[in-house]
Structure 1
Amino acid sequence: MGENITFAAMHDEGEIPGYLAVPEGPIRAAIIVVPEIFGVNPGIRHKCKVWADLGYMALAPDIFWRFAPGVELDPDVPEQMEEAFGYFGQYDPDKGVQDIEAAIRFLRDYEGISKVGLVGFCLGGRMAYMTATRTDIDASVGYYGVMIDQMLGESHAIANPLMLHIPTADHLVSAEAQAAIHAALDPHPKVTLHDYAGLDHGFAAEMGKRRDEQGAELADRRTRDFFARYLG
């Protein structure tokens, strides 16, 4: 079961919209699902429902709520892709971490939830890394995160498990950036990196032209196993 909700932002900034999917049976843990630059669209809502079917409460926050609340875009439509990049330029990732902190607090207030994880895609993949370095999230997973190579100086602060899925042919993350990520994070005891040879950005999207079925299934299985290990 899924529904649109709101939860309190940090510092009395207002109410953050989101989509919440709740398991029908007992709740194993909670997972925050951070969207790409296309908003909480049907693909992200589907990911939340999949987690709920596995017993996790899943919350997808509206990351653009400050300036484009409720936006849902289709990456296969060129005009909407261009619109999405405009929102990416307006997004403040530091405030984004605060919004994720608010989501963590909201979920931990639910009776029976002791652990909260996060999975993010594209911009959300960057936020997965930042969440691992700046919050007490129990476990984080990032798919094709952008600009992580520019934030590797924060890696010493990663205290809980982080896994990153890296497509080697990502047209938004250069080979040099990927090499820097590996050099900095391969030795980190809390970090697991997985490369996907020849795959491009967005390969694990639930729908649309970008999806690679085999790669998506492999990455999603690894993510499920990771959360089962660290969240329960």
Structure 2
Amino acid sequence: MPEIKIAATDGSGSFSAYLAEPAKKPAGAVIMIQEIFGVNATMRALSDWVASMGFWAVSPDLFWRQEPGVSLDPDAGQEQWQRAFALMNGMDQGLAIADLKASMAAARALPGCNGKVGTMGFCLGGRLAFMMALDSDADCHISYYGVGLEGLVGNAAKITAPTMLHIAEADKFVPPAAQQAIADGLADTRLARVEIYPGVDHAFARVGGHSYDARAAAIANGRTAELLVKMLG
């Protein structure tokens, strides 16, 4: 698979990132932020999809400090989920944000990148994308079924770029009270947009997954594409 190496800003080493290249350049770049399952087949396919829309896609390995090269299958049994949750719980999210900022710098330095960079994350990555909205200079941010956002929206005044949240109405990890807290917390934030998809569960946009919903995914992905084109060129 095509990969690049990115130096960690704390001097602790370097980590790999899956790289998908657009056919035409110059082009903007999207930092693709993994679910709890690592940079697996789903993240690589999503990165290829973003590249097919005309953007660089960079998906960094955020578990590298614990175990480099993690690639788990969420539909392959409980053992995979147990490993995924252990890795998520072992992650230092502050260091993950530093690694994402390093990934942004690497993306901007790609030959043929136009200098514009966005973030797009899923599940754990959806949380990290929102954290990047609060603490980075990216041009836009997209969060698919991010977890724990209700505890972050109190800092919404720090958002400086368009930020879109795709939320599954039936998400067991984001119950109705959390969804309401997110919507209320961002109601006065002009740059934030919350979209709630009726009747669908967590990971509704993961093609082939047990919760995949083609209609909701198509609507969400269309909104994502519009924002990327508007902000990244």
| TM-score interval for Structure 1 and Structure 2 normalised by the shorter chain | over 0.9
Residue 10 of structure 1 aligns to a residue in which SS? coil
Query: In structure 1, how many angstroms separate the alpha carbons of the residues matched to 2:175 and 2:43?
Result: 26
Residues 1:23 and 2:22 aligned together: yes
- Answer yes or no: is the 8 Å Cα contact 2:108–2:117 preserved in 1: yes
Superposition pairs of residues 76-225 of structure 1, within 5 angstroms: 76=75, 77-111=77-111, 112-225=113-226
* Cα distance, 1:193 vs structure 2: 0.7
* Cα distance, 1:116 vs structure 2: 0.1
Residue 195 of structure 1 aligns to a residue in which SS? strand
Query: Could you tell which deviates more after superposition, 107-116 or 212-221?
Result: 107-116
What TM-score do you get using the length of structure 1 for normalisation? 0.96
- Answer yes or no: is the 8 Å Cα contact 1:132–1:140 preserved in 2: yes
* Cα distance, 1:161 vs structure 2: 0.6
Query: In structure 1, how many angstroms separate the alpha carbons of the residues matched to 2:70 and 2:208?
Result: 17
Query: In structure 1, how many angstroms separate the alpha carbons of the residues matched to 2:65 and 2:24?
Result: 34
* Cα distance, 1:207 vs structure 2: 2.7
- Answer yes or no: is the 8 Å Cα contact 1:51–1:57 preserved in 2: yes
Deviations 1:172-196 (A, max 9, x none): 0111111110001022000011010
Residue 36 of structure 1 aligns to a residue in which SS? coil
Matched letter for residue 187 of structure 2: D
Ranges in structure 1 where 5+ consecutive residues have no aligned partner:
none
Query: In structure 1, how many angstroms separate the alpha carbons of the residues matched to 2:166 and 2:30?
Result: 17
RMSD over equivalenced CA pairs, Å: 1.1
The corresponding residue for 1:70 is: 69
Q: Which 4+ stretches in 1 moved above 6 angstroms?
A: none
Deviations 1:61-87 (A, max 9, x none): 111010021111111122101211111
The corresponding residue for 1:54 is: 53
* Cα distance, 1:57 vs structure 2: 0.5
Residue 2 of structure 2 aligns to a residue in which SS? strand
* Cα distance, 1:132 vs structure 2: 0.4
Query: In structure 2, how many angstroms separate the alpha carbons of the residues matched to 1:67 and 1:85?
Result: 13
- Answer yes or no: is the 8 Å Cα contact 1:8–1:15 preserved in 2: yes
* Cα distance, 1:113 vs structure 2: 2.2
Percent pairwise identity: 38
* Cα distance, 1:206 vs structure 2: 2.6
Deviations 1:68-109 (A, max 9, x none): 211111111221012111111101111111011101111111
Query: In structure 2, how many angstroms separate the alpha carbons of the residues matched to 1:9 and 1:113?
Result: 23
Query: In structure 2, how many angstroms separate the alpha carbons of the residues matched to 1:166 and 1:190?
Result: 17
Query: In structure 2, how many angstroms separate the alpha carbons of the residues matched to 1:12 and 1:43?
Result: 30
- Answer yes or no: is the 8 Å Cα contact 1:121–1:144 preserved in 2: yes
- Answer yes or no: is the 8 Å Cα contact 2:127–2:148 preserved in 1: yes
* Cα distance, 1:137 vs structure 2: 0.8
Deviations 1:2-50 (A, max 9, x none): 6022111112221111100111222320001001000111111011111
- Answer yes or no: is the 8 Å Cα contact 2:21–2:57 preserved in 1: yes
Residue 134 of structure 2 aligns to a residue in which SS? helix
What TM-score do you get using the length of structure 2 for normalisation? 0.96
- Answer yes or no: is the 8 Å Cα contact 1:163–1:193 preserved in 2: yes
Ranges in structure 2 where 5+ consecutive residues have no aligned partner:
none
Residue 18 of structure 1 aligns to a residue in which SS? strand
Query: In structure 1, how many angstroms separate the alpha carbons of the residues matched to 2:33 and 2:110?
Result: 19
Query: In structure 2, how many angstroms separate the alpha carbons of the residues matched to 1:104 and 1:6?
Result: 13
